Amino acid sequence: MGDQIQFIVEKLNQEPFRKNYNLISFDSLESLQLLQLLSDVLGEIDPKHAVDIREELPEQTAKRMLNLLGILKYKPPGTVSDLSAFRQGLVTGSKAVIHPVLHWLLQRTNELRTRAYLARFLVKLEVPAEFLQDDTVADFNKQYEELMEAFKSLHKEHEQLKISGLSTAEIRRDISAMEEEKDQLAKRVERLKKRVETVQNHQRMLEIARQLRLEKEREESLAQQKQEQKSQLFHAEQRLQRAQVQLKEMQHVVADSKPESLMKKLEEEINFNSYLVAEKIPGEMESKKTSVYYLEKVVAEPAMTQADLTALESELDEVNAEVNQLIEKRMITYEPTDSKFSMYRQQASIISRKKEAKAEELQAAKEEMSSLERQREQKSSQAHGLEGSEVLTEDEFKQYVSKLRSKNTFYKKKRQEIAEITAEYGILQRTEELLRQRHEAIQQQLQAIEEKKGISGYSYTQEELERVSAVKSEMDEVKGQTLDNMSEMVKKLNAMVTEKKASLAPVIKELRQLRQNCQELTQERDEKKIQYDSCVAGLETNRSALEQEVKGLLEECAQEESNYRYINCMKRNLEIQLQRAKEEMKAYMSPDPQERRGAVREQYTRIILEQENLGKKLREKQKVVRESHGSNMKQMKMWQDFEQLMECKRDCFLKQQNQAAIGQIIQEGGKDRLVL
């Protein structure tokens, strides 16, 4: 518990809280202050919760915090009764409830901040089913779910890009390299255009080439459409053949079968189908529903981090360990009386597995038989189309079967040869890929050597020249008549190139020397920079270590100072209490009666005597009251009866006055008469 409080205080004293608490001041916080502190921490995770709890009701505060903790997947320890106690403690600001919550939140602030951000967009708003009957509401709900899925995919791409480690500097270098390559390609295109401009009717030839490219693209699209139409036709023919095969099977069953065989076959099919419906299919449906339920549960939850996965793995390991322990206990406490039941259970499970396996084999055999029947019908239809409706005899059928077996062996042999050729082809592909990679690596090394020697792009230029020369030779062979002109042009260009090379030779030599000097200076600068970075890193490490040490010493000093003040206060209190005890002892032992009367013991003795006298008087008074209780109660009853009698007389008098206003009452012989 002390380590937990110390961790909370350290985290609250850091950024972004900066509360400047120590253990004593944090422990002395009241419930309202603890609730405000918890609200501040939740507000740092989710800015919507950065509120002053004095401006809202306690129920609203507890509901808001419980909702956010539920979204963040905080699991309070204990059972259902402990959960109710947790809610009550959160409302009242109990330390036993809030301290673990603060410790859990401050341990994983960044992770919880991400989870709270995702919850704003991934917590699904439940719409009642009666509202979804409206088309507009249903459309909006569908758009809402689609946007949620789009957000999930975009967030995953964002996280993958963050993990991939692509930096802006690398992207800028790639962009600059692509721009340079684009410039080189543009220059090459310009050079080729200049060479083509010397050819007669080059515009017409370019137009014809453009039309040829368009026609090729159109041909490819038409071929694709033709392939799609063929596939659709093939599928339609297959459906037609299946329907014809089913029709013929039904006709054959109706024509050639007896009622007994039909009934037996139907009973077998009914038994098999009832087994599928009653046992196999419900089990498969239940397993599929379970897997779908778990998949939906996984999809509905927010994105899980590595910490969540490690926690789940640890829980899984713990559960597996418990299962293994229970199995070991069961094996230890194994009784012979259970052996018979276990044996029967094993036999029943083996039989059920065999039954399921046979049912699957039967279903696969039926499917294979139906496919073979379809193939047979197809082959028979093809045979009827080619050779008429002749039916093979038994000997011819045997010969046909033997030929088919020989062909099957020949087919298997050829298929094995094809598999070997395919494997060899895969090996050759892998060899080609390795050679291509090696070629690319050699090309990169060659480019690095060229850059080091100051002749960057030499091999590329050489390849381009070779390719251009090859293209030129092909064009010379095709055109024939323009060969002399092109050769003269090449000679002129070579002469110009040699002249340019001769004029640029001293400049290139000077440039090479300058490049070499630049490389030396760059190398020296890199070495100095490495030394500087290492020195700065060492100094920064020492500075941070010293800062941490100073910070720890300051915190220790503040803690010791607080302990010193607390001990001094306790010492003063003890000294005052000791002084009072000495004075009391001195007054009690003094021979002076006046001074002894001022002692606390004498005062409390007098108070005790007074209270005892008062108790005696009260007991005597209680005795008197008990003795006179019966007579007093009787007298009180008489007074109550007297009061009722007087009220009755008053009522009779009032009634008599009211009757006098109507008529006159005459009393004679104990009877009353009313005279109007």
| Best CA proximity match to 31, nearest among 106, 101, 77, 96 | 96
What is d(CA 65, CA 314) in angstroms, rounded to the nearest whole number?
A: 28
| Best CA proximity match to 184, nearest among 489, 491, 470, 463 | 463
What pLDDT was estimated at residue 477?
Answer: 67
pLDDT digits (tens, 9 = 90+) for 448-471: 777 777 666 666 666 777 777 677
Indicate the average pLDDT of the chain: 78
What pLDDT was estimated at residue 479?
Answer: 60
| Best CA proximity match to 659, nearest among 649, 643, 674 | 674
Instruction: Determine contact, residues 245/377, Cβ cutoff 8 Å.
Output: yes
Residue written as tokens 């077996």? 405
What is d(CA 510, CA 505) in angstroms, rounded to the nearest whole number?
A: 9
User: Which of 140-149, 374-383, 646-655 is predicted most confidently?
Assistant: 646-655
Task: Quickly state the pLDDT bin for 271 (edges 50, 70, 90).
Answer: confident
Q: Between 21 and 330, name the one with better pLDDT.
A: 21
What pLDDT was estimated at residue 407?
Answer: 84
Instruction: Determine contact, residues 419/412, Cβ cutoff 8 Å.
Output: no
The one-letter code for the residue type at 534 is S
Q: Other C-beta atoms within 10 Å of 478: how many?
A: 9
SS3 call for 568: helix
Instruction: Please determine, for residue 396, whether its predicted confidence score (pLDDT) is greater than 90.
Output: no
Task: Quickly state the pLDDT bin for 332 (edges 50, 70, 90).
Answer: low
Q: Which long-range contacts (CB under 8 A, 24 or more apart) does 9-14 make?
A: 11/106, 12/37, 12/106
For 94-108, 249-263, 356-370, 430-444, which range has the lowest pLDDT when averaged over its residues? 249-263
Contacts of 309 (CB under 8 A, 6+ apart): none
What pLDDT was estimated at residue 618?
Answer: 92
The one-letter code for the residue type at 330 is R
Q: List, in sequence order, the alpha helices (H) in 257-280.
A: 259-275
Task: Quickly state the pLDDT bin for 386 (edges 50, 70, 90).
Answer: low
Instruction: Please determine, for residue 676, whether its predicted confidence score (pLDDT) is greater than 90.
Output: no
Instruction: Determine contact, residues 450/458, Cβ cutoff 8 Å.
Output: yes
What is d(CA 99, CA 31) in angstroms, rounded to the nearest whole number?
A: 11
Q: Other C-beta atoms within 10 Å of 567: how many?
A: 10
Per-residue CA distances from 150 to 122, 145, 304, 459 (Å): 11, 9, 17, 48
Q: List, in sequence order, the alpha helices (H) in 590-628.
A: 593-597, 600-627
What is d(CA 447, CA 297) in angstroms, rounded to the nearest whole number?
A: 54
What pLDDT was estimated at residue 80?
Answer: 44
Instruction: Please determine, for residue 256, whether its predicted confidence score (pLDDT) is greater than 70.
Output: no
Which DSSP symbol is given to 493?
H
pLDDT digits (tens, 9 = 90+) for 135-182: 787 788 888 888 888 888 887 777 777 666 555 677 788 888 888 888
User: Which of 60-69, 81-90, 477-486, 493-502 is predicted most confidently?
Assistant: 60-69
What pLDDT was estimated at residue 476?
Answer: 62
Q: Please give the average per-residue pLDDT across 345-367, as a whole number.
A: 76
What is the number of residues in the chain?
676
Task: Quickly state the pLDDT bin for 639 (edges 50, 70, 90).
Answer: very high
SS3 call for 238: helix
How does DSSP assign 339-401, residue by residue?
HHHHHHHHHHHHHHHHHHHHHHHHHHHHHHHHHHHHHHHHHHHHHHHHH-S----HHHHHHHH
- pLDDT > 90: percent of the chain: 4
Q: Please give the average per-residue pLDDT across 109-116, as a whole number.
A: 80
SS3 call for 101: helix
Task: Quickly state the pLDDT bin for 340 (edges 50, 70, 90).
Answer: low
Instruction: Please determine, for residue 424, whether its predicted confidence score (pLDDT) is greater than 70.
Output: yes
Q: Element (H or E) spanning 212, and its range?
A: helix 202-256
Instruction: Please determine, for residue 361, whether its predicted confidence score (pLDDT) is greater than 60.
Output: yes
What pLDDT was estimated at residue 337?
Answer: 46
